[in-house]
Chains A and B, each alone.
Chain A
Amino acid sequence: MEATQIRIQDLNVWYGSQHILRNINAAIPARGITAIIGPSGCGKTTLLRSINRLLEETEGMRVSGQVLLGGVDIYRPGADVTAVRTRIGLLAPKPFPLPMSIYENVAYGPRIHGWHSGHLYEIVQRNLEAAGLWDEVKDRLRTPASRLSTGQQQRLCLARALAVEPQVLLCDEPTSALDPISAQGVESQLQRLKQDHTVVVVTHILRQARRLADNVMFMWLGELVEEGTAVQLFTSPNDPRTKAYLAGSIG
């Protein structure tokens, strides 16, 4: 639980002349759940997307600094972006099922990497079970994924992300599009996943952060104000801005 999985060093992000992330330095421990909290527009999504290099899909974003995964900088020249993204998965706030069947959605990752063509079915089943969706879809694996409900789609996206066996799973407001029951389902899946994955969750819901997080990072206007264990940060925050945010008086 203590080893550092991801170390972020002097990370800066600009969009044009707008300085979106300022000198972020942080350590995300291996396994367990790290929650990123902070007011809207403070850069949580940007930070998450810079950790799996998805940020460069937005034209005009400039990144400097380092993100070390297991000690190796993912931004080093010649780094293989696809390998980075395979090891660090990202779950978007809104589910985007690929235009194919439920089965093919989960099999997509293993297929494009050319893995295990022999026992794809087992992989699909295992990951749908891990995402808590198997029982609901096992009789209609061949139907288009777009026919699932939003909550089911979100769990399908989770299964799809897990199928490429990432070490790290980044979740950007994974329950924001869901009803309370589905949200609870996703939360309990994340809690199981943290046993052998490093999970990073961006959330607006402080109670969710309290429920889930082992560690918390608080961001404010593009800066990382404070990070620490959940207990420490929630009970005795050091920075006045963190205090004010937790008390609900800012943000």
Chain B
Amino acid sequence: MRRIAAKLFNPKSDRAGSDPRRSRRWWKRVALDKSAHYTMRLLTMATVGLVPLIAGALLWRAWPILATHRLTSLLFSQAWHPLRGEFGFLPFIMGTLWVTTVAMLLAVPPSLLTAIYLAEYAPVRVQRLANPVIDLLAGIPSVVYGVWGVLVIVPLVGNQILPFVSRHLGALALFRTDNPTGFGVLAGGAVLAVMIFPLIIAVAQDLIRAVPQGLREASLSLGATRWQTVKHVVLRRARAGVVAAVVLGCSRALGETMAVLMVVGNVPQIPRSIFDAAYPLPALIANNYGEMMSVPLYDAALLGSALVLLLVVLGFNVASRLAVMRLVGTN
């Protein structure tokens, strides 16, 4: 029995069988240690393995369309006419990029400033009040944000912002539109921004807080102001973390479905202005999967767009991870 166990548990490094002092208790401890190790390893590998598994399933189901259409025409064609067999993903890819970009522009500056304020300036009292509220925001279901967007943001965009902006900045293509409804890129981006706000604040705040107090004091002791200390020392030290927080928010924005779908207009076109309607990838899939399945290749096309979404998010994550690694390396 012992000999089997000894073989199982790495016989070369611990020649346990030959040592009479090693008791049964010792064996039990080792067994527990090793089995804990292998269980955790298995679970980790299973989790990591999920990514290729999902990608593989999507690839398998999207194969019919990949086999019949050129990849370039799928990715770069604007024509989306399922009944005619034309499946161009470009409007949806562009819709995703537009909405995500607008959301990031709206969300990143205020949420980083909020995180800096809470981590560096706010008295404990304020932190104790603000942080639970921020956590609460993160927990609100996305459909609630969607409803709120329809009730508040869309009318606000349609009735206030759009007339105002087109009166003053209408000369710029970015602000010109023939869609007066308010459902569009800006509304989608605004709702998304509010949704990723708490995520960026929470993560960035934690990472800023992790900067050692001694470092702040070193800077303050030289007569630096608090803002100088934050800017030159704290943020510099925490910048990889801040980038990571923004990336996390961006990943979330890329994939968010429900709330965006409710306010973005869902017109398969390439948006030209922040007031145009858009149709992001997740909305395409959620709106149409399970319907019109009798149309040839439609099902494969939707799964192909899911694959594209997955690849966009993966590519984004890899790129940002490399960026974070470079930042850490230069520290």
Contacts and interface: CB of A to CB of B under 8 A. Distances in A.
Interface of A: 52, 54, 57, 59, 82-83, 85-86, 89-90, 92, 94, 96, 98-100, 108-109, 112-113, 144, 146, 157, 160-161, 163-164
A43 B214 CA distance: 18
20 contacts: A57-B213, A57-B220, A82-B224, A90-B217, A90-B221, A92-B221, A96-B214, A98-B232, A98-B233, A99-B215, A99-B233, A99-B237, A108-B219, A112-B228, A112-B232, A144-B331, A160-B222, A161-B221, A164-B222, A164-B223
B217 A54 contact: yes
Contact of A100 (B213, B216, B236): B236
Interface in B165-216: 212-216
Contacts of B222: 85-86, 89, 108-109, 112, 160-161, 163-164
A98 B230 CA distance: 12
A112 B223 contact: yes
B223 A83 contact: yes
A214 B228 CA distance: 37
A144 B214 CA distance: 18
A98 B218 CA distance: 8
Interface string B300-331: 00000000000000000000000000000011
Contacts of B212: 96
Contact of A54 (B221, B228, B233): B221
B225 interface: yes
Contacts of A161: 221-222
B52 interface: no
Interface of A is mostly: mixed
Contacts, number: 71
B227 to A, nearest CB: 10
Contact of B124 (A59, A94, A100, A144): A59
A200 to B, nearest CB: 14
Interface of B: 123-124, 212-225, 228, 232-233, 236-237, 330-331
Contacts of B225: 82, 112
Interface of B is mostly: helix
A155 to B, nearest CB: 14
Nearest to A94: B214
Contacts of A92: 214, 217-218, 221
B223 A96 contact: no
Contacts of A146: 331
Nearest to B213: A57
Contact of A52 (B124, B218, B221, B331): B221
List the 3 closest pairs (A to B, CB-CB), nearest first: A86-B223, A109-B222, A96-B214
B221 A89 contact: yes
A98 B219 contact: yes
B220 A85 contact: yes
Contact of B215 (A59, A89, A98): A98
A89 B222 CA distance: 6
Contacts of A82: 223-225
A85 B212 CA distance: 20
A157 B218 contact: yes
A59 B222 CA distance: 20
A164 B225 CA distance: 14
Given A59-B124, A92-B214, A99 B220 contact: no
Given A109-B223, A157-B218, 15 more contacts: A54-B220, A54-B221, A57-B213, A57-B217, A82-B223, A85-B221, A86-B223, A90-B217, A92-B221, A94-B214, A98-B233, A109-B224, A112-B224, A113-B223, A144-B331
> Which of A52, A89, A99, A108 neighbours the largest number of chain B CB atoms within 10 Å of its CB?
A99
A82 B226 CA distance: 9
A127 to B, nearest CB: 12
Contacts of A109: 222-224
Contacts of B220: 54, 57, 85
Contacts of A113: 223
A163 B225 CA distance: 17
B33 to A, nearest CB: 35
